[in-house]
Structure 1
Amino acid sequence: MKMNPITLIIVLVFLYPILKGFLFKFSSRDLKCDIDDLSRNISFIIAIISGTYFGKKIFIQHDDGIYRNIYNHIPQQILDYLENNNLIIYAIVIPIIVFIIYRVIKLILDLLNYVTTYPALDSIEKFLSSKGNIFKRTTGMIFQIPKGLCYVLLVAFALNIMSVLNVSSKLNGYLEGSKPYKSICKSIIMPVTNSNIAKKLPNILNNSFRIVIREADSGRQIEPNSDTPATLNQTNGRKTVVYYNGVTLDQGVKSDPQIDKLAVALGSEGTNTTEKAQMLYNWIGTNISYDHDKANKVLNNDFNVRSGAISAFETRKGICFDYSCLYVAMARTNNIKVRLVTGEGFNGISWVSHAWNQVYIPESGKWINVDTTFYKGGNYFDNPRFSIDHKDAQIAGQW
């Protein structure tokens, strides 16, 4: 069985310093050089963790406390530019913060090594001078394990940043398929970078949203692509039917009297389109839970499950398509122009298939983005940072 390239890289990166320690045995002089390298790696890892955390707290979340105070003291022109260019925060601002923290941590570790670690290594070398080669090689391996772990974390952080920036769709597929990488992301990277989605909904996507296009007469499946909008009912002159997780779009957004009654009640609490739309967003996000069992079935191409607005409303759970269909049904009842959008969302590990909504606000004359599936992970109602973890939007339907 062929090993995933990302998994192979992680294994080799971990084993390299350990193998080196075995081959070259324990040496105080060499180990001091290794410890200096290790200090750089540790400093860099701490800097990445803390720099990313503080950068996101200040420039992306800035909800309360000292982070809001710092944010409010930043010149408005800079804030306006960052709001319109969200990736600059990840590509430039956070790396600058990381570099500053790195230099401070490295200086502290260097001082500690010169006072404590280096003298201890000289003593250990004197002790091992009378021991055999195997003992020295084994000791050399043991002392290299922390370095191997640091290398693995550095590589995982670098891959995660590359995934956020969507460097390559092929790389994204390898990342999604690598169990060691996903484990490191879930247990270390996402918690330390304060990913709310990862904390609240750790398996929110996992490519559980499937679009299938079939010829209406023959039933033969046609592979959808980026040049084939999902709303088309003909492909190269042939009549086709588009299925979303096993149902057509019309079936998915179909409403019933119970949904309509609640939607009207929720809408009546708002005084304008924005408030009405947000009331629907809040109710769905609060009352519908993510259906992990259904997501796993869809991942395995098992479409013997109910999908759409009615199913989500009756069971109070669903996956991204169900959330989006229910929002469409409720918005239509309130005569709000609404879209169901398909694309990709970032789940903290990689970009995967996703669905969300757009609502037209006549008072401002614009469409705004709404993602009820991501509700528990933060504010996803007309948020200017929406594009950070959503991309490749295509309109599947508009009502």
Structure 2
Amino acid sequence: MTQNTVDIALILIFLYPLLKGFLFKFSSKNLKNDIEEIGSYISFIGGAISGTYLTKQIFVMHQEGVYAEIYNYIPEKIVSVLDSNPIFIYVVVMPIMIFLLYKIIGFVIEIINSMTFYPLLDGIEDLIKEKSGFTKRIIGLLFQLPKSICYILLVSLVLNVLVIIGVNNSYNQKLDKSVVYSSICENIINPITNSKFAKKLPNIINDSFKIVIKNDDTESLSNSGKTIVYYNGVTLSEGIKSNKDVDQFARELVKDRKNTYEKSKHIYNWVGKNIDYDYEKVDKILRNDFSVKSGAINTFNSRKGICFDYACLYAAMCKANNIKVRIITGEGFNGSNWVSHAWNQVYISEENIWINVDTTFYKGGNYFDSSIFKLDHRNAKIAG
């Protein structure tokens, strides 16, 4: 099996400082220069992570606590611009926040280094003057470990930002196959930059949502066959098919809600809270095993499913209440890559508009008629 080039590059980036430290041995003077360099990297990484986190908490999530209070102090004109052009959050607000925090962290690190690490290195050099060259090489290698970690985190952060921006599909596919990059994003970058959002968001996996287009050979020759689209092994009509139990429950759920907006949001809240992401089903679909049926009825009964199932159940429950709804296919950002995804659009009759709804992402934040929707959903196509 061919090794992923991204994995090879990240491993080499990690090993380079270690090899350099081993070859050139321990030196207080050289390490002081390295520490200054590491300080710059740490400042940037710290600024990037904390800047990204604070930007998202204040300008994207801002649902509760101190972040909601800070958001309320932002001038309405700025809020209006960011709501209409949410990409500005990433290309304008976030870089400014990162730069300010980078400078602050760098200043603090320099003070700490001058008071602690620089005197410590001088002391260590005095202690090992009589030691063998091999011992000095091992110590030199160990002291380069923080630099190696900084290198690989820095590169992974840059790769992550490029994915968010959306360089191209080929680039996204290469990163999707990288075990090292995915692991760093899952265990370090996403939990820090996204906090509770990343921990709660289902780890939607590429190709877990499969669309297959076939010709119906049962049609007469004169009709030349009809194109049929299958989503995870079922047609769209089969997926959104309902029954008495689902319909009765859906009507009872929203009977006290006054209008379409309130009803559709209440259904969104129920589906998001009560349906769990089915990782076992993902594994089966990746093997083209569709033995676990997709669609609204099975999802309602089992209380679990993947993105297409969430969308089907939401559609069925809306239809039971005579609310116009459609299923959308496209791509969602799972924290490290853009992956195949499905969600809904619901028609608010009182306002004569269609709004976006993603019940799969419910546990990660507000994905009902939200301005942040465009940031992690793209290439939307109406399935039906």
TM-score band (shorter)?
A: over 0.9
Relative to 1, partners in 2 of residues 1:65 and 1:263: Cα closer, same or farther, differing over 3 Å? closer
What is the alpha-carbon distance in structure 1 between the residues aligned to residue 105 and residue 212 of structure 2? 52
Q: Is the 8 A contact 1:128 1:136 kept in 2?
A: yes
What is the alpha-carbon distance in structure 2 between the residues aligned to residue 197 and residue 304 of structure 1? 31
**Superposition deviation, residue 101 in structure 1:** 1.2
Q: Is the 8 A contact 1:359 1:368 kept in 2?
A: yes
What is the alpha-carbon distance in structure 1 between the residues aligned to residue 328 and residue 274 of structure 2? 21
Matching residue within 382, 385, 389 for 2:369: 382
% identical equivalent positions: 54
Counterpart mapping for 1:190-205 below 5 A = 190-205=190-205
What is the alpha-carbon distance in structure 1 between the residues aligned to residue 265 and residue 37 of structure 2? 52
Alpha-carbon deviations, 1:145-203, whole Å to 9, x = none?
A: 11001111111111111111111211211222112211111111111112544212442
Alpha-carbon deviations, 1:200-237, whole Å to 9, x = none?
A: 24423443110001122299xxxxxxxxxxxxxxxxx8
Counterpart mapping for 1:346-385 below 5 A = 346-385=333-372
Q: Is the 8 A contact 2:197 2:364 kept in 1?
A: yes
1:341 is aligned to 2:303? no
**Superposition deviation, residue 56 in structure 1:** 1.3
Amino acid at match of 1:11: I
Q: Which residue of 2 aligns with 1:328?
A: 315
Alpha-carbon deviations, 1:39-88, whole Å to 9, x = none?
A: 11111121122211211111112223332222222221111111112121
**Superposition deviation, residue 29 in structure 1:** 1.6
TM-score w.r.t. length of structure 1: 0.91
1:288 is aligned to 2:275? yes
1:318 is aligned to 2:305? yes
**Superposition deviation, residue 261 in structure 1:** 0.9
Q: Which residue of 2 aligns with 1:31?
A: 31
What is the alpha-carbon distance in structure 2 between the residues aligned to residue 354 and residue 388 of structure 1? 14
Q: Which runs of 5+ in 1 are unaligned?
A: 220-236
SS of the counterpart of 2:354? strand
Q: Which residue of 2 aligns with 1:228?
A: none
Amino acid at match of 1:324: A
Q: Is the 8 A contact 2:61 2:365 kept in 1?
A: no
Relative to 1, partners in 2 of residues 1:298 and 1:344: Cα closer, same or farther, differing over 3 Å? same
Alpha-carbon deviations, 1:286-316, whole Å to 9, x = none?
A: 2221111111111121112211111111111
Q: Which residue of 2 aligns with 1:47?
A: 47
TM-score w.r.t. length of structure 2: 0.94
What is the alpha-carbon distance in structure 2 between the residues aligned to residue 160 and residue 200 of structure 1? 19
1:89 is aligned to 2:89? yes
RMSD: 1.7
Amino acid at match of 2:148: G
Q: Which residue of 1 aligns with 2:380?
A: 393
Q: Is the 8 A contact 2:332 2:376 kept in 1?
A: yes
Amino acid at match of 1:382: D
Aligned residue-pair number? 380
1:309 is aligned to 2:296? yes
Amino acid at match of 2:99: F
Q: Which residue of 1 aligns with 2:107?
A: 107
Amino acid at match of 1:329: A
Q: Which residue of 2 aligns with 1:120?
A: 120
Q: Which runs of 5+ in 2 are unaligned?
A: none
Q: Which residue of 2 aligns with 1:77?
A: 77
Matching residue within 286, 294, 297 for 1:299: 286
Alpha-carbon deviations, 1:313-361, whole Å to 9, x = none?
A: 1111111111111111111121111111000111112110010100111
What is the alpha-carbon distance in structure 2 between the residues aligned to residue 178 and residue 81 of structure 1? 37
Amino acid at match of 1:300: R
What is the alpha-carbon distance in structure 2 between the residues aligned to residue 290 and residue 100 of structure 1? 38
1:189 is aligned to 2:189? yes
Q: Is the 8 A contact 2:61 2:366 kept in 1?
A: no
Q: Is the 8 A contact 2:22 2:140 kept in 1?
A: yes
Q: Which residue of 2 aligns with 1:229?
A: none
Q: Is the 8 A contact 2:202 2:360 kept in 1?
A: no
**Superposition deviation, residue 95 in structure 1:** 1.5
Q: Which residue of 2 aligns with 1:225?
A: none
Q: Which moved more, 1:241-250 or 1:267-276?
A: 267-276
Q: Is the 8 A contact 1:210 1:245 kept in 2?
A: yes
**Superposition deviation, residue 112 in structure 1:** 2.1
Amino acid at match of 1:306: K
What is the alpha-carbon distance in structure 2 between the residues aligned to residue 218 and residue 377 of structure 1? 44
**Superposition deviation, residue 248 in structure 1:** 0.7
Amino acid at match of 2:362: Y
**Superposition deviation, residue 264 in structure 1:** 1.6
SS of the counterpart of 2:163? helix
Q: Which residue of 2 aligns with 1:246?
A: 233
Relative to 1, partners in 2 of residues 1:352 and 1:199: Cα closer, same or farther, differing over 3 Å? same
SS of the counterpart of 1:186? helix
Q: Is the 8 A contact 1:208 1:298 kept in 2?
A: yes
Q: Is the 8 A contact 2:202 2:361 kept in 1?
A: no
Q: Is the 8 A contact 2:217 2:225 kept in 1?
A: no
Amino acid at match of 2:178: S
Runs (4 or more) in structure 1 with deviation over 4 Å come to none
